[in-house]
């Protein structure tokens, strides 16, 4: 297993269930698992297939019922707050059942509306213009988020200007930033068991959240490492990057007992 540490992110190149069995609790789990087999077959139009004018299979395996149940159980065990998955609309009920069987409190399915999604090219039915996000609470007491009475509808273009394009189901950074703003707080730790090319980690780096990402495919893992390192190097106008501070020489000054030594995040 390969492990990379970049800023406040810890990235694992390995099987998500094996890694999740070894790590401690996190504040929230947000992930984009593989979809059902019909969404992986040749008829699916990915960004790459649209660009090159051909249909293309996704290059990773579809979700299985066993993986769905096992990863929901692991997410419930680790999360002190929210568990949020992406899925196609037809799978919302399956994810609800798995999350509830694991002990999570299922809340509802939200949607990501994609105004620039690919049209139905054969014209035989409406094109899919959104993805679903089943949402459950695994923390103690009542569920809590930051968006009051806001509706669970998130509208973002698939083809953002900052799209990396090296993963066929890459999520937009603005979408992940809005989800982090609504469901998480600065300094919290977010786990993505299906990291892909690391978009959630990029958003965490830009918004002052700690991140744990897991990706099985070494090609996408390398892309995620590169993108997250770049996000930390660029910084963000709203989040000041960690900087070095001299340890106090005064014997009466407060000691710095941070695990990071003489590095600390300045709010």
pLDDT of residue 200: 97
Residue that wins the pLDDT comparison between 139 and 123: 139
With 80 as the cut, is the pLDDT of residue 21 above it? yes
Do residues 44 and 100 touch, judged by C-beta distance below 8 A? no
With 90 as the cut, is the pLDDT of residue 61 above it? no
Range of the domain at 207: 2-264
Distinct helix (H) and strand (E) counts, the chain: 7, 11
pLDDT of residue 41: 52
**Is beta strand 243-244 parallel, antiparallel or unpaired with respect to 82-85?**
unpaired
With 80 as the cut, is the pLDDT of residue 145 above it? yes
Indicate whether this model's pTM tops 0.95: no
The residues facing 6 across adjacent strands are 9
pLDDT of residue 62: 76
The total number of structural domains that make up the chain = 1
Q: What is the pLDDT of residues 116-131, one digit of tens each?
A: 888 888 889 998 899 9
pLDDT-above-90 percentage for the chain = 68
Report the SS3 class of residue 237: coil
- How far apart CA 165 and CA 64 sit, in angstroms, is 26
The DSSP H or E segment spanning 182 is helix 173-183
pLDDT of residue 236: 64
Confidence of residue 166 (pLDDT cuts 50, 70, 90): confident
With 90 as the cut, is the pLDDT of residue 66 above it? yes
With 60 as the cut, is the pLDDT of residue 47 above it? no
With 80 as the cut, is the pLDDT of residue 184 above it? yes
pLDDT of residue 120: 85
Q: What is the pLDDT of residues 67-118, one digit of tens each?
A: 999 999 999 999 999 999 999 999 999 999 999 999 999 999 999 999 988 8
With 60 as the cut, is the pLDDT of residue 55 above it? no
Arithmetic mean of pLDDT, 42-47: 46
CATH, residue 96: 3.40.50.150
Average pLDDT, the chain: 84
Query: For tokens 């019909």, what's the residue?
Result: 38
Could you tell me the two tokens for 146? 């930051």
């Amino acid at each position: 297993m390969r492990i990379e540490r970049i800023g406040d992110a810890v990235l694992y190149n390995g099987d998500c269930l094996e890694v999740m069995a070894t790590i401690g609790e996190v504040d929230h789990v947000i992930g984009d698992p593989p979809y059902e087999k019909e969404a992986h077959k040749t008829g699916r139009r990915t960004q790459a297939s649209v660009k090159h004018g051909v249909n293309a299979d996704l290059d990773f395996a579809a979700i299985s019922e066993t993986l769905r149940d096992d990863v929901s159980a692991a997410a419930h065990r680790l999360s002190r707050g929210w568990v949020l998955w992406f899925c196609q609309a037809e799978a919302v009920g399956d994810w609800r059942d798995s999350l509830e069987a694991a002990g999570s409190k299922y809340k509802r399915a939200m949607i990501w509306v994609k105004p620039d999604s690919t049209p139905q090219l054969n014209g035989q039915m409406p094109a899919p213009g959104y993805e679903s996000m089943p949402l459950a609470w695994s923390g103690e007491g009542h569920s809590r988020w930051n968006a009051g009475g806001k509706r669970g509808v998130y509208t973002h273009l698939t083809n953002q200007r900052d799209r990396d394009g090296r993963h066929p189901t890459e999520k937009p950074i603005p979408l992940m930033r809005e989800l982090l703003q609504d469901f998480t707080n600065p300094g919290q730790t977010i786990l993505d068991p299906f990291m892909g090319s690391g978009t959630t980690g990029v958003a965490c780096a830009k918004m002052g959240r700690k991140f744990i990402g897991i990706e099985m495919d070494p090609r996408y893992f390398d892309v995620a490492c590169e993108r997250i390192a770049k996000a930390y190097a660029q910084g963000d106008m709203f989040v000041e990057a960690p900087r070095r501070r001299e340890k106090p020489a005064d014997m009466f000054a407060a000691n710095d007992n941070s695990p990071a030594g003489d590095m600390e995040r300045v709010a």
